[in-house]
Structure 1
Amino acid sequence: MAATLCGRVLPKTGWLPLTESVRHGSKAVTRHRKPMHFLKQKLMAVTEYIPPKPIPPPGALSPPVRKTELESGLVILLKRELATVFRECKMIAVVQNNASSAEDMLLLKHRLYRHGITVKYFSNQVMRSFLPDSRYSNMQPLFIGPTVMFVSKEPKVKEMLKVLRSSPQMVLLGACIENTLLSREGILNYSRLPSMATVCGELVGVLALMTSQTVSQLRHHPAHLSALLQQYVEQLQSASTPEPAGRETAFAMEEAAA
């Protein structure tokens, strides 16, 4: 029995098992370097010693020569035109153009031209060379990126805002109205003000009312005094004249005379 079991369990001669166990050698223990903490890295970077650069002896290097670039004739011509625009126009609005198409821009120009507002294009290079030497130097931060100017000889803020509502790609940045620099909120507040004709009419009405009140007050005392004097004269006249006799007294006087 034992021989039978041993014969079944033990492998036969020349037979190879399907799986073989292979023993690997033990691996060597390797220690990885722990990374430095980021706060310590910052501290090491801040406290790192930087040696000073050696100073060259005097006369070894010549001072750098700055080259002055002359402005071209086109830039000078554009600056003259820009000076004319700022001198003749009372409203100069800076608007940012956010990729509006040529068709939308043409339609916007047509709508603005109905109200006497013109669209002007000037490059930022020309604006930056003109503004620092003028009294409009505070407008220089507005000219960043693609910008256009809406100019008119009269301040027509309400009409401009009404046209800009139909063009969301045009963003109003600021404006110079009657030599006063205004932000977007300032322009909205300026548009709510009444027109000059309305203000003049209200002023004329207030002045006329004040004049009429002054005249009435000046005439009140002489009129009152004349009325009192006239009443006093009438009282004196009524007191001096005798009272008229009755009908019976008059008849008796006639009989006595007869």
Structure 2
Amino acid sequence: MRSSTAAVQDPARDATGLQAVLWDMDGTLVDTEPYWIQGEMELVAAHGGSWSEEQAEALVGQSLVFSSGILQAAGVQLSSREIIDHLLGHVVQSVRREIPWRPGARELLADLKASGIRCALVTMSEKPLADEIRSQLPEGTFDFLVTGDMVDHGKPHPEPYERALRLLQQQVPAATVDNVVALEDSLPGVTSAQAAGLVTVGIPHFIPLPGDSGRTHWDSLAGRTVADLQSLVHQRSTILKVG
């Protein structure tokens, strides 16, 4: 993929331009949803219950605490912490065998890094899985992580993205909701990012996203560049000026 570095201004000098990108992980950066669903199905079956594709799809993008409650209602006789640890362990082992990267994700990350644009991971998965994924990327790809075990309220609540923005502003004082872009694949994820006020891109993968005039929809990250993200920030700036 061509680099858009030459077309993007130094973010430190252009406070009105793109300052950072906040990435969802499961379904946006990596296609781990099948790993989670397999773990859920095996866990429910081991406790004598049944688990459908529809039930599994309803948990896509939700916090692990929320998901554990649904699994308990489906017959899993374990504590919330035990369920989370079991599923997390299953997915960590799965990604150690193979990480299913989403098309275009690593290329866009490389383009952002080359352009000096900060990136952070904002995921409802917990730190052991996020660390496993991050370890397979070039050092410094993500400046920091916000994981599900760092927040009181998971997606679709805005807290994960609000926390990420506060952490980002410690490094990039010019970062605001108008020049930071969130990349998400699920309805809980885009809801969280939009509720935090961020420029939001939905890249539906496992579950279709409903249309919403308040966010941008891309079919894929394949072929996307920093210039594409920069244009979204400029569009927000234009709308604010007109308003």
Q: Normalising by structure 1, what TM-score?
A: 0.21
The higher radius of gyration belongs to: 1
Q: Which has the higher helix share?
A: 1
Relative contact order higher in (CA < 8 Å, ≥ 6 apart): 2
